[in-house]
């Protein structure tokens, strides 16, 4: 008999659910761990869990096991959610990260723009343009994974978006493009926030919403992992890179001098560059 079936897990919202091995294996497989190894790690995790354990603690156990195996690519992908939260405490690195994602998918991007609306000026985090779309984005960064973006945010952002859009329509700008507004968060949205946005036609992207267009989906698809994903750097070193404007792992090889400024040895630098190579591989 599998004793873990009776173990309850406390989720981030405080809800209690029964432990589900299938969910853990699915998360590991989504991170690139093959089926056999996912099952092995799940069994090792189950030796350490107990009734009332938090989902976050289970994540930490699994991540530690991946690191022990030196599975840099899988560990980095499994750690992706926390890595994006670690872009804080300010929201600016997250805004840069979102801009880089749009750039990867073919958009021309500007950040920190002031745009005149029909009634007032608006500060916009990200403006992204391609042949088909003109997009304005408000980024909502949360340092606490338990926080959610409530309905007041899309209500407010949609009013700003409509003011800008009306001004563009008056000036006959972007008439050949679909004009869209988005709110992008590293956490989650409340149900009424999603309901309002769907009704109003405002785009929402969170860590896991929508399923085929979430932050996790686009990040994994593009392999644009943040520097906070790296196992070979400590927290203060990652922060130093963020302060230099280096947000993505793939940017590091072009700025090896920044690693030297962190007093890393040649051997340590080689380990960092190897992890970057493995983590950012697209196949």
| Sign, Cα dihedral of 272, 274, 276, 279 | negative
Spans of all domains in the chain:
3-78, 92-222, 231-279
In whole angstroms, what is the distance from residue 244 CA to residue 96 CA?
12
Fold of 92-222: Trna Endonuclease; Chain: A, domain 1 (3.40.1350)
pLDDT of residue 1: 39
pLDDT at 5: 62
Question: What are 126's strand-pairing partners?
Answer: 111, 137
Give the end-to-end CA distance of the chain in Å, rounded to a whole number.
Answer: 39
Which pLDDT belongs to residue 146? 80
CB 154 within 8 A of CB 202: yes
Order of strands across the sheet with 178-185?
Answer: 108-116, 121-129, 133-140, 178-185, 203-205
Q: Taking the CA atoms of 218, 223, 229 and 231 in sequence, report the sign of the dihedral they define.
A: positive
Tokens of 205: 């992207």
Which residues contact residue 27 at a Cβ distance below 8 angstroms, ignoring those fewer than 6 apart? 62, 78
Residue 9: how many other CB atoms lie within 10 Å: 22
The C-alpha angle 29, 31, 33, rounded to 5 degrees, equals: 50
Residues of the chain below pLDDT 70: 1-5, 31-32, 67-78, 282-283
Q: How far is CA 200 from CA 103, 127, 203, in A?
A: 26, 20, 9
H helical segments located in 201-246:
215-222, 235-243
For residue 102, count other CB atoms closer than 10 A to its CB: 21
Token couple for 121? 């000026």
Put residue 106 in one of left, alpha, beta given phi > 0 → left and psi -120 to 50 → alpha: left
- The Cα-based distances of 157 to 93, 126, 170 in angstroms read 20, 13, 20
Q: Give dist(CA 212, CA 79) in Å, integer.
A: 20
Q: How confident is the model at residue 80, as a pLDDT?
A: 81
Enter the pTM of the model: 0.75
The closest alpha carbon to 209, from 159, 156, 155, 149, belongs to 149
């Amino acid at each position: 008999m599998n004793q873990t079936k009776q173990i309850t897990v406390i989720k981030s919202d405080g809800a209690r659910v029964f432990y589900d091995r299938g969910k853990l294996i699915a998360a590991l497989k989504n991170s690139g761990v093959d089926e056999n190894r996912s099952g092995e790690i799940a069994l090792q995790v189950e030796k350490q869990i107990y009734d009332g354990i938090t989902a976050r603690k289970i994540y930490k156990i699994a991540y530690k096991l991946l690191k022990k195996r030196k599975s840099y690519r899988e560990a980095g992908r499994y750690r992706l959610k926390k890595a994006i939260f670690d872009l804080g405490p300010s929201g600016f690195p997250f805004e840069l990260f979102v801009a880089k994602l749009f750039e990867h998918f073919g958009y021309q991007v500007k950040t920190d723009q002031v745009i005149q609306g029909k009634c007032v000026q608006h500060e916009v985090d990200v403006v992204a343009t391609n042949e088909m779309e003109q997009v304005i984005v408000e980024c909502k960064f949360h340092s606490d994974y338990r926080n959610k973006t409530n309905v007041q945010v899309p209500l407010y952002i949609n009013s700003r978006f409509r003011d800008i859009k009306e001004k563009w329509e008056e000036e006959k700008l972007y008439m050949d493009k679909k004009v869209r507004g988005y709110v992008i968060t590293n956490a989650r949205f409340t149900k009424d926030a999603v309901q309002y946005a769907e009704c109003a036609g405002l785009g929402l992207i969170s860590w896991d919403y929508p399923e085929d267009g979430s932050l996790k989906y686009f990040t994994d698809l593009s392999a644009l992992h943040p520097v906070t994903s790296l196992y070979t750097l400590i927290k203060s070193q990652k922060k130093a890179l963020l302060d230099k404007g280096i947000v993505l792992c793939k940017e590091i090889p072009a700025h090896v001098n920044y690693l030297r400024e962190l007093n890393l040895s040649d051997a340590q630098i080689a380990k960092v560059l190897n992890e970057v190579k493995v983590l950012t591989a697209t196949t």
